[in-house]
Chains A and B, each alone.
Chain A
Amino acid sequence: MTEPKTRTRKRTGLLALLAVIGPGIIAASAGNDSGGISTYSVAGAKYGYTMLWMMLAMTPSFAIVQEMAGRMGAVTGKGFSALIRERFGVRPTFFAMLMLLASNAATTIAEFAGIAAAMQLFGVSKYISVPIAAVVVWLLVVRGSYRNVEKVLLALSSVFIAYVIAAFLAKPDLGTVATAFVVPRIVPTQAFIALAIGLTGTTIAPWMQFLVQSNIVDKGTTVKEWALARWDVIVGAIAANVIACFIIITTATVLHPAGIEVTGAGEAARALAPLAGHYAEALFAIGLLSASVLAAAVLPLTASYAICEAFGWESGLDRSWSEAPLFNGLYTFVILTGAAVILLPGLSLIGIMLVSQVVNGMLLPFLLIFMMIIINDRKIMGRHVNGRVNNLFAWTTIVVVITLTVLLLGMTLFGIG
C-alpha cells in the first residue's frame, strides 16, 4: 500500500513552525483556566518571585507528561482510561476514575467560581450569574455547540497573553527575577506547601492528560504522524508555562510590593493595571469568563467520556438519555455540582479556586503512577516505552508531590507552620 502522496508535501520553514506553535499557544492559554489564573496570581502576590523556580523546574515535567499522554494515544489508539482498565482491571480502574471525577468536579467548581468572580467584576451577583451560566454551559454541551463557540472563547481567553506585556510594563528588576528562577527558596509554612501543591496541580492537571490523549485518539493520529504532532503538544505545554510565569512576575511586581493580597478577582485584576489602566478589570473579567466557560464545558465532558470508556458504557453526544443514561448523567451531575457548590453563601471564590488546584495536585501523583506503569509496559507500548530522561522527570514529580502532600498533612496534624 502506498502512502498518501499529499501528506509527504509538508509545509516547511516559518509556516510549518507557526502551524505547529499557533494552536499550541492558543490551547495553552486556555489551559490557564480560572484555577490557574488564581493560583498564579496568589503565588505572585503573596510570595513575590519566590515560587518562580518551581515553575522552571515543573516545565520539563509538564511537557514530558503531556508528551507521554499523547504518545500513549498515538501508539495504542486508545484513551488513558481504557488503557488503565485493560492493564489493571476493574478495581484499580474504579479508584482511578474516582480520582478523575474528583479532580474534574473540583476543577469544574473552580470554573464556576471563575465565572461568578468575573461577573462580580461586572457587578452581577453570583446568585444570578451562576445558575444562568450552568444552564448555558449545559446547553453548550448537550447540543454539542461548544465546538462552534470554542474558537471564540479561546480567542477571548487569549487576552491573558496581555500578562506578557503587562509584566514588562511593570518594570520588574530583571536581575531579581532571573535569580528567583534559579535559586530555590522555600517558606516553611502550611500555606506555602499547599500553594506549591496547588501550583503543581494546576500546571500538570490530571484531567489535561486525559484530554490530550483523547484528542490524539480522536484525530486518529498514527505513530508516524506523532513525530510531528508531539511538537504541538510540547510547545503548547511550554507556552502555557511561559504565560503562567508572566502572570506570577506581573502580580509579584505590581501587587506584592504594595502588600496587596489576592482575596478576590478585583485584586487579581489590578495586576493588569500597568497595561490596561481603568480597563484592567474588564480585560481580566472577559478573559476569566471565557476561559472558565470553555473549561466548564470541556471538563465534565472529559470525565464523562473517560469514565464511560473505562467501563464500556455507551457514550456520545448523539446518544439520548435512554441510550446512554450514565454518560449524560455524569456530565450533568458534574455541571450541577459545580454550580451548586458556588451558590452556597459565604464562600471565598478565590479560596475555592485554590483548594480545587490543591486537590488536583494531591491526586496527580497517583494518576501519574498509572501512566508510568502503562507507558513502560512493552506489551502495550512496544518500542515506544519511556526513555530514561522521561522516567527520571516523571518519577521525580511523583515523589516530590507525594512528599509535599505528606509534609502538608504532617504539618496540619502537628500544627506546625
Chain B
Amino acid sequence: MFYLTRMLGRPVVDAAGETIGAISDVAIATREVFPRVTSLAFLGPEKTPFMLSWRKFVEAIDDDQIILNVTRDALRFSYLQPDEILLARDLLNQQIVDTQGMKVVRVNDLKLSESRHQLRLLGAEVGIRGILRGLHPALERTAERIMKLFGGTLAEDIIAWNYMDLLDRDLSHVQLSVTHKRLHELHPADIADVLEQLSPAQRAKVFEHLDNSQAADTISELEDAFQADVIDDLGSQRASDILEIMDPDDAADIIGDLPYDKAEALLRLMGVEESSAVRGLLGYREKTAGGIMTPEVTTVTEEMTVQQVIDHLRGEAAENESIYYIYVTDETDHLEGVISLRDLVVSDPETLIADIVTKEVITAYVEDDQEDVAETMSKYDLLAMPVVDETNKLLGIVTVDDALDVLEEESAEDLELATGQRARTGITGIWRWVSRNGWLVVWGALFLLAAMLPVPGVALLVLFATIILRIAEDVASHALSRVIETEDEDERTPLWRRFASDAVSGTALGVLVGLVAGAVTWLVQEPSGVLDEALRIELAILVGLVYALAVLAVSLAGTLIARVAEGVASRGRRVSGTAITVVLMLIGMLVFGGLALGAWRLLAAQGLTGM
C-alpha cells in the first residue's frame, strides 16, 4: 500500500544507483475503475520538472524510493497528455464531489496499491486519518493506538475514482469508464443536495455542465433560499430558457423572490405563453391554493369521444405536468366534471365523454389555505385537485408533489411553534432544556438582576413570584396549542366566550393558589407572635389576593395574546412560541410586582412594615 503524501519528495534513482530527482506527481489513466499510474513526474536538479512513462522506465517502487530500469542518459522524457489526471495537482488537497455519498469533501491523501508491476489508484482518502498522516505519520500511528485502547479502529474513509467528480478540473474531455458517476448524472434531487454545499462560483461551474432541462429539474429541487440566488447568478438568457421549461408554478415561486427589475427582465425574455402563465400565477397570494397551483390543465368537453381525448393527450397536452385527471369544462372554462386516465383506458374509443364523466368534483377555491388543500388531497388520495374561482371557472390544478411540500412545510412550522425551535437547526440538548424550562431561565435572570439592584425587597419578590412564572408558562403553552389548532380549523370561538371560560378557570386556579399562599403566610407568621390575630389574617388575605389576582391576570392576558397570535398566524406570518412565553412571564411579573407594591403600601399605611 502506498500513500501519495508519503511518496512525494522521495528520490528517483536510476539503474546506476544515482539519484536524479525527487517525485513531484504521478498521472493516471482515467478510463479504469482503479486507474493505472501512467506517468511519473519528478523535479530534477534546480527544480526542473521532468515526466516519464511509468510502464517503460519504472523498475521498482518501495517505501523509500523509485528505481528506474535504465541509466539517466537512456531516459526518454514525455509530456502530460490532455486526458491524464495528475494526482497531486488535480486531486490532493482539492475539493471533490463524492457522487456516492452525495457530499462535497476534501482529499487528504490518495491510496495506491501495487500489483504485478502496476501501481493503481485505490481511491481518495477523505477522513481524519489522511489529515493526521499528512501532519506526521507518527500522529496517525498514535491515534490508531489510542483508538485501539478504547476498542475502536481509526477507519479509513476512501472514495473510489469512479465516484469522484472534480470541481476545478473539467472531466468532460477525459475518457471515463461507463460506471464512472459524475455529478450531472445524478438524480436532480441529489444534484441539488450537493449544490447546496458549494459556493456560488462552484455552483455556476456545475450549471455549465447541466443541460437546460436538467438545470430546471435541479433548481426545482433546491431549497427555496437558493433558488432565486442561482437564477440570479445565471445569465439572463439561460435563466429565462430554464424558467420556460420549469412548471409554471415553480417558475412563479422563483420569479416572485427575485428583485423586481430582474424578474421583469426575465419575464420579457421568456416565451409569450410561458411568461403570461407565470404572470397570472404571480397575482395569487402566497400560501393559498392559487399560490401553489399550476395553470397547465388538460381540459376537454363533454361532446368529445374517448378516442378524441386520447389523441388530445398525445398531442398538445403531452407536456402538461399532470395528466392523470382530465377535466371536463364548458366553452367558458367552467368546471363540469372529471374523468381519470383509467376511465379513458378502459372505455370503448367511441364512448362519449358525457357518458363516463364524474360530476361530483372535489375542488379548491383559489383563496383556500394551502394546508387545507393539501389535507383534502391526502384525505381523498388525489393526485391532483382542480382550483376554481367563485364562478366555478377552472383556473389550474394543485399537483401531489406540491401538496407534499406543503404538508412538510406546515408540519415543520407547527413543530417550530410548539417547541420554539427551528426544525432545520440542530436541536441540541442544552437548547431543548432551555426552551422547555423557559420559566426557570427567565426566573434565574430576573433573580440575578434583582439581586444586583440596590433595593433589597426586589430579589425577595422575584423569589415569591416563582409560582406565577411557572403558571405563566403553562398559560403560554395553552395559548400556543390554541394557535396551532385554529390554524388548522380556521373556526374561531368568539372572544367573549373564550374570555369567560378562561376567566372561570383563571379564577379557580387563582383562588387555589391564593388560598395556599395565604395559608402559608398565616402559618409562617405564627411563631413570631409580633402581629395580633386580626392583622395576621389581614396579611394572609392580602398575600392570597395578590397571588390570586396575578394568576387571573396572567390567564386573561393569555387569552388575549392567543387571539393576537392567531391573527398574526392567519396572515401567514410566523409566530414565535418563545416570544409568547416571555411576554406572558413579563406580564405576570409586572402584575405581581404591582399588586405586591400596592399591598405593601396598604400595610405601610397601617404602620405594619417596620417589622
Contacts and interface: CB of A to CB of B under 8 A. Distances in A.
B448 interface: yes
B93 A142 contact: no
Contacts of A19: none
B135 interface: yes
Contacts of B130: 90
Interface stretch (B103-111, B113-121, B520-528): B103-111
A323 B448 CA distance: 36
9 contacts: A3-B235, A4-B235, A6-B262, A77-B199, A86-B93, A90-B5, A90-B108, A94-B135, A312-B104
Given A4-B262, A124-B452, A312-B126, A320 B238 contact: no
B265 interface: yes
Contacts of A125: 452
Contacts of A86: 93-94
A116 to B, nearest CB: 14
A220 B233 contact: yes
Contacts of A4: 235-236, 262, 265
Interface in A87-104: 89-91, 94
Nearest to A88: B93
Contacts of A1: 235, 237-238
Interface string B199-220: 1111010000000000000000
A290 interface: no
Interface of A: 1-6, 9, 76-79, 82, 85-86, 89-91, 94, 123-125, 128, 132, 139, 142-144, 217-220, 222, 310-312, 314, 316-323, 328
Given A79-B199, A91-B135, A219-B200, 12 more contacts: A6-B262, A78-B201, A82-B95, A85-B93, A90-B93, A90-B131, A91-B134, A142-B425, A142-B426, A311-B106, A322-B426, A323-B426
B173 interface: no
B463 interface: no
B314 interface: no
B236 A317 contact: no
B242 to A, nearest CB: 12
Given A78-B201, A90-B5, A90-B93, A143 B422 contact: yes
B9 to A, nearest CB: 11
A222 B234 CA distance: 12
A78 B265 CA distance: 30
Nearest to A127: B448
A1 B229 CA distance: 18
B47 interface: no
A4 B265 CA distance: 8
A9 B262 CA distance: 11
A139 B431 CA distance: 8
A143 B134 contact: no
A89 B131 contact: no
B422 A128 contact: no
B202 A77 contact: yes
Interface string B218-249: 00000000000100010111100000000000
Nearest to A319: B426
B201 A3 contact: no
Given A90-B108, A128-B452, A218 B428 contact: no
Nearest to B134: A90
A317 B424 CA distance: 9
Contacts of B236: 2-6
A144 B431 CA distance: 14
B425 A220 contact: no
Contacts of B204: 220
B579 to A, nearest CB: 12
A119 B445 CA distance: 15
A164 to B, nearest CB: 34
A123 B449 CA distance: 11
Interface residues of B, number: 43
Interface in B85-129: 92-95, 103-108, 126
A219 B265 CA distance: 21
Among A4, A217, A311, which residue has the most Cβ atoms of chain B within 10 A? A4
A320 B426 CA distance: 4
Given A128-B452, A218-B200, A89 B93 contact: yes
Contacts of A2: 235-237
Given A82-B95, A90-B134, A321 B106 contact: no
A211 to B, nearest CB: 15
B445 A132 contact: yes
Interface string B236-272: 1110000000000000000000010110010000000
Contacts of B95: 82, 312
B590 interface: no
B427 interface: yes
A81 to B, nearest CB: 11
B428 A321 contact: yes
Contacts of A314: 103, 197
Contacts of B107: 312
A108 to B, nearest CB: 19
A91 B131 CA distance: 9
A2 B94 CA distance: 32
A144 B421 CA distance: 12
Contact of B425 (A123, A219, A318): A318
Contact of A5 (B5, B197, B265): B265
A142 B429 CA distance: 13
A1 B261 CA distance: 19
B20 to A, nearest CB: 24
Contacts of B103: 314
A220 B205 CA distance: 12
Point out which of A128, A142, A220, A310 has the most chain B C-beta atoms below 10 A from its C-beta: A220
Interface in B422-445: 422, 424-428, 431, 445
Nearest to B109: A90
Give the interface centre of B93, B261, B262, B431 by most chain A CB atoms within 10 Å.
B93
Nearest to B260: A6
A327 to B, nearest CB: 10
B265 A6 contact: yes
A347 B148 CA distance: 43
B385 to A, nearest CB: 32
B201 A142 contact: no
Which of B131, B235, B265, B449 is the most central at the interface, judged by chain A CB atoms within 10 Å of its CB?
A: B131
A217 B93 contact: no
A93 B131 CA distance: 10
Contacts of B445: 132
Nearest to B448: A128
A310 B106 CA distance: 8
B452 A220 contact: no
A220 B426 contact: no
Interface in B334-353: none
Contacts of A128: 448-449, 452
Given A3-B235, A144-B425, A220 B229 contact: yes
A90 B235 contact: no
- Of A79, A94, A310, A311, chain B has the most CB atoms within 10 Å of the CB of A311
Contact of B199 (A78, A132, A321): A78
A123 B452 contact: yes
Given A91-B134, A132-B445, A311-B131, A77 B201 contact: yes
A6 B452 contact: no
A91 B139 CA distance: 12
Given A78-B199, A143-B422, A85 B106 contact: yes
A10 B118 CA distance: 60
A312 B106 contact: yes
A314 B431 CA distance: 22
Contacts of A312: 95, 104-108, 126
Interface string B400-417: 000000000000000000
B551 to A, nearest CB: 28
Contacts of A317: 425
In order of increasing CB-CB distance, the 5 nearest A-B pairs are A77-B201, A312-B106, A220-B200, A90-B134, A320-B426
B131 A142 contact: no
Q: Which one of A9, A79, A319 has the greatest number of beta carbons of chain B within 10 Å?
A: A319
